[in-house]
Amino acid sequence: MNGITCLNRRQRGIGLVEIMVALVIGLILLAGLFQIFQSNRTSHRISEALARVQENGRFAMMFLSRDLRMAGHIGCTRDFGLRNTLGSSNYLYDFETYLVGHRDENGTGNWQPALPSGLSNVVKGTDVVTVRAADGNTILIDPMNSATDNVVPRTVHDLAVGDTVVLSDCEMAAAFRINQIDGAGALVHGQNLGKAYRGDAELMRIATTTYFIRENVAGEPALWRRIGNNPAEELVEGVDDLFVLYGIDTNADGAADEYKPADEVVSWDDVVSLQVTLRVRSREDNVTAEPDTVSYDGAQVTDRRLRQTFTSTISIRNRLK
């Protein structure tokens, strides 16, 4: 009996060594769990940032591609003259020049060619690209009796006073502003359109659209668009660089023979395609494991944002042969 009592007494409680071993094992397990949690959290943060960056990149390229490929579109063919009653001296109405780019190579805010008036707060070191084209939503008209007749639409439309439009057929085109819409629905313009257009002519809105990079109210860079004289609108956040190379057709075969930046383009009429590169960054500044240094707004910036570049070559449909 005494032997059993002594045995039970020796097995009562846990020694200090056992407690310390258990604590060490517990700490190791907790450290492992914490490491797994941190790893999963980091992976989730990177995956979420990458998904947002890729989505923004796709949307930004979609906006640019849609408008750039339509550069110079004013009707059924490109090989006819445009009678521009608005005058080509105004940047907004220079419809004879269907495309123009601006390059700030050194990030000093000195774009070549110079930026149009009214375009402000553009991020230095980024490109600006302007395209002029009709929107493609065609409206049919009643036949005109003379070149100075008011234009009478015969299909449903949403045109308004002040809109800039182009009237075209397969022979010529005329751009004019709608000064008034009379009681019969005729578009009053007060101009000589060069000819009396037939009933098969197409009437479309035409506009100058400019794409550029600017910071929004939150201080984040974004892709912006300005249509005509309207206020610029933010399209896609996170785009911090836009770089464009212009495909030059040197032998009139409709294909690009060389690509040049905007400040090296001699004749915009020779541009048949564009190679557009966008750099898109994450909103969060704690995504990547190591910091990265990039050029932004004329300076070197170091942060831990996730960045990705997107490049697309866009052919101008109106220049294809």
| Residue 31 in domain | no
What pLDDT, on the 0 to 100 scale, is given for residue 254? 86
**For residue 32, is it within any domain?**
no
In a domain, 275, yes or no: yes
Chain-wide mean pLDDT for the chain?
Answer: 89
Residue 70 falls inside a structural domain: yes
Q: What percent of the chain has pLDDT over 90?
A: 70
197 located within any domain: yes
Q: Is residue 267 part of a domain?
A: yes
Minimum mean pLDDT range among 24-28, 65-69, 108-112, 168-172: 24-28
| 3-state SS, residue 289 | coil
Q: Distance (Å, rounded) from C-alpha 176 to C-alpha 85?
A: 6
Lowest mean pLDDT among 21-25, 39-43, 104-108: 39-43
| Tens of pLDDT, residues 41-87 | 666 678 888 999 999 999 999 999 999 999 999 887 556 678 999 98
Q: Is residue 286 part of a domain?
A: yes
pLDDT at 20: 76
pLDDT tens digits, 183-213: 999 999 999 999 999 999 999 999 999 999 9
Find the domain containing 120 and state its range: 48-319
Contact 275, 313 (CB under 8 A): yes
What are the pLDDT digits (tens) for 121-165? 999 999 999 999 998 889 999 999 999 999 999 999 999 999 999
Token pair in block for residue 252? 């009139």
Type of residue found at 11: Q
Number of domains in the chain: 1
Between 3-7, 169-173, 286-290, the lowest mean confidence (pLDDT) is in: 3-7
Question: Quick one: pLDDT at residue 10?
Answer: 54
Q: Which residue has the tokens 């750039």?
A: 68
Q: Is residue 213 part of a domain?
A: yes
Higher-confidence position of 227 and 15: 227
Instruction: Let me know how long the chain is.
Output: 321
Q: What is the pLDDT of residue 287?
A: 86
Quick one: pLDDT at residue 171? 87
Q: How many helices (H) and strands (E) does the chain have?
A: 2, 17
d(C-alpha 26, C-alpha 32), whole Å: 10
pLDDT tens digit sequence for 252-262: 888 999 999 99
- Taking residues 17-31, what's their average pLDDT? 74
